[in-house]
Structure 1
Amino acid sequence: MKKLLLVSLLAIFTSYNMLSQETENTKEKDYSSSVSSINAIITNLYAVISGEKAQERDWEHFKFLFHPSAKLIPAGKTPEGKIAARHLSPQDYIKTSGAWLVENGFFEVEINREVQEFGNIAHVFSTYQAYRSAGETEPFMRGINSIQLLNDGERWWILNVYWTQENESNPIPKQYLPRG
């Protein structure tokens, strides 16, 4: 009887331990607060891609911000000097830029925001500066993110992030820079 009880307790403990480990491995982080408002989703967009050199990014959090059909659209000059745009899914962005962000360090900081909202849609014109480390004071790049958002009644989704960098022939207009 003691042996049967011991075997039963061992089986229960092993099952509980396996279930606990499985639950821990499959437990998703709760990112719901990061999509509760326009401010929250924009703040989290910048935070999730930013980090020091060798600092891994939370790509699950990044993907959580985007609608399943979302696109990231960088625009700029091709090597031939023509203006063009590329269309990337969030997963494509991770594949093409993820390693570079970690290898080089990258902090994108919003310096101005213009929001237009109507019903369940919003457009955010977000001016940014980029640094390779949090301690830097001079940005190596500036530009504007045009971010289209949808609120489905439960949360905000990023539908598109369409951006271009500032350059000598295309400086950021004063109206999109911080006032004061």
Structure 2
Amino acid sequence: MKKLLFILFLGIFSTTSFAQEEPEDISLTYPEKVTTVESTIQTLYRVISGEKDQERDWKLFKFLFKPDAKLIPTLKDKDDKLTVRYMSPSDYIKSSGDWMVRNGFIEREIHREVHVFGHIAQVFSTYECYESLSDEKPFMRGINSIQLFNDDERWWITNIQWSQESAKYQIPSKYLR
């Protein structure tokens, strides 16, 4: 039920884009978080995860993304057809941030495949979601497809597209532990 509510919650909000604000001096605060693909992905999971009533560091979240980056969930529309929704990092925060804090949301990576060529990287990252670290079983699993770009100074997330596991689409064993 909570999974369904979360999916519906994400689908209800408009896709109005907001300009990404670049916080002042943030590059001096967080440089170690984006020096490698590994550190960037670890930071992504850490920054969105937290227990109930735990605030997230949304400045750090935005810092991970290149301007015009997109977060793209795969979901079903009102006619039960698969579709995608395009969000900016600010849209994601607006549509999901309060829900995550109110309910608790821990996203753990359980498997990762990384492909790097030159200044680009593609990461296929399998995840499990919990409301609390004390939960024994995840309420949701899926795969994040994360694209990154390195500008010779740091790694930037350019896009994340994800799909949740369902009865029809089970995560293949090669993408699990």
Asked if TM exceeds 0.5, the reply is yes
Q: Which residue of 1 aligns with 2:39?
A: 40
> What's the secondary structure of 1:161's corresponding residue?
strand
Identical positions, percent: 56
Residue identity matched to 1:80: D
Q: Please give the alpha-carbon distance, in whole angstroms, between the structure 2 residues aligned to 1:81 and 1:27.
A: 45
Match of 1:66 in 2: 65
Partner Cα distance (1:173, 1:74) in 2: 19
Alignment partners' CA distance in 1, 2:84 and 2:151: 28
Q: Which residue number in structure 2 is paired with residue 131 of structure 1?
A: 130
Q: Aligned in 2, Cα 1:77/1:66: closer, same or farther, shift over 3 Å?
A: same
Corresponding residue for residue 151 of structure 1: 150
Aligned to 2:83: 84
Give the equivalent residue in structure 2 for 1:53.
52
Using the size of structure 1 for normalisation, the TM-score is 0.83
Structure 1 ranges of 4+ moved more than 2 A = 26-29
Q: Would you say 1:171 and 2:174 are equivalent positions?
A: no
The aligned residue for residue 101 of structure 1 is 100
Letter in 2 for 1:54: D
* Aligned-pair CA distance for 1:79: 3.2
C-alpha separation in 2, matches of 1:99 and 1:87: 19
1:36 positional shift: 0.4
How big is the shift at 1:69? 1.3
Report the CA distance between 1:107 and its aligned residue: 0.2
The structure richer in helix per residue is: 1
Q: 1:27 to 1:162 in 2, by over 3 A?
A: closer
| Amino acid corresponding to residue 115 of structure 1 in structure 2 | V
Distance 1:27 1:151, change over 3 A: closer
Secondary structure of the equivalent of 2:78?
Answer: coil
Higher relative contact order (CA 8 A, sep 6+): 2
Cα deviation 1:26-78 (Å, max 9, x = unaligned) = 76461111100000000000000000101110000000000011000000222
- The aligned length equals 153
Q: CA deviation at 1:137?
A: 1.7
AA aligned to 1:141 is M
- State the superposition RMSD in angstroms: 1.1
Q: Max radius of gyration: which structure?
A: 1
Using the alignment, how far apart are the partners of 2:114 and 2:95 within structure 1?
Answer: 29
SS at match of 2:29: coil
In structure 2, C-alpha distance between the alignment counterparts of 1:32 and 1:68, rounded to whole Å = 17
Mean Cα deviation higher: 62-71 or 77-86: 77-86
Deviations along 1:66-120, whole A, 9 cap, x unmatched?
0011000000222322110000000000000000000000000000000011000
